[in-house]
Structure 1
Amino acid sequence: MLKLYLEFRVNKYENFEKLRKMFYSLKESKKNNSIDYQDSKWKNFYDEELLKNFWWPTDDELIEYWKLYESIPINQRYNDKRLFKEWEFSSMLEAIACGEYQLDSCEIIKGNIGRLKFMTWSWPYEGAGSLRALIESFGLEIIKDEV
């Protein structure tokens, strides 16, 4: 297994503690293949303000999004800023659940610097976008990565 990490600046220790608690809950659930990404318990790790970091589209917004998506030529979709949205909450959890990696630790390593460590099961793997989203959803700034 390849050991990788994301380092981040902790600007609010309270938010780091929320991230850390959620991380270890996700780690245990992932180990048991039991992350139910539609379970509302995951929202309990967030306050109302932090939940605003996610995209919560209405049914109409989703319909409009997919219409736009389909209307854009395939070779332009990944660069069209109209398609850039924040992560949906359940999509982030689903990506973590399906990620080809094992969650390792989430701790303060020095002063106000935290590190989230994980180990890939294969290489190449699908990336750490969902783990980045997890960290950033708690208002923490990623400052270094080894992914």
Structure 2
Amino acid sequence: MKIISIVISLLLSSVTWAADEKATDGIVTLKSDYSVEETADRFESIIQKKGLTLFNRIDHAKNAEVAGHTLRPTQLLIFGNPKVGTPLMQCSQSIAIDLPQKVLIYKDESNQVRLSYNDPSYLKQRHQLKGCDAVIKKISKVLAALSANAVKKN
């Protein structure tokens, strides 16, 4: 009996570790109550109202279709604000490879629509940013709020 308890404990801790590992992969993902198109439209509208610039909106599924392939609905929105991004690049220019910000909105294999974005804390670590904690904190809050508003029905 004691061996069974130990094995169960080990299995449960492995599951917890695997879930934590997935949660810390540098990507924040939320479930959406809307279709991919509606979620993307909502996100675009929200960022424009907040004075952010939408640089591009890429419909990967449409591009796949043009190439003769199929892909579940998948859209990428590229957006930002140089007033916020420039200070990050002043801390470490390599972060420019991850800017402007992006959100990926897609329908997964279980037909759940999801919105994902790079966790700013991960970007801080990835680019070894020093002296940008306040900016990273602000971006984290803004991305969380924008995303939450885009995916949830009131």
Q: What band does the TM-score fall into relative to the shorter chain?
A: 0.3 to 0.5
- Work out which of the two has the higher radius of gyration on C-alpha atoms and give 1 or 2: 2
Larger helix proportion, structure 1 or 2? 2
Higher RCO (CA < 8 A, seq sep 6+): 1
TM-score after normalising by structure 2: 0.34
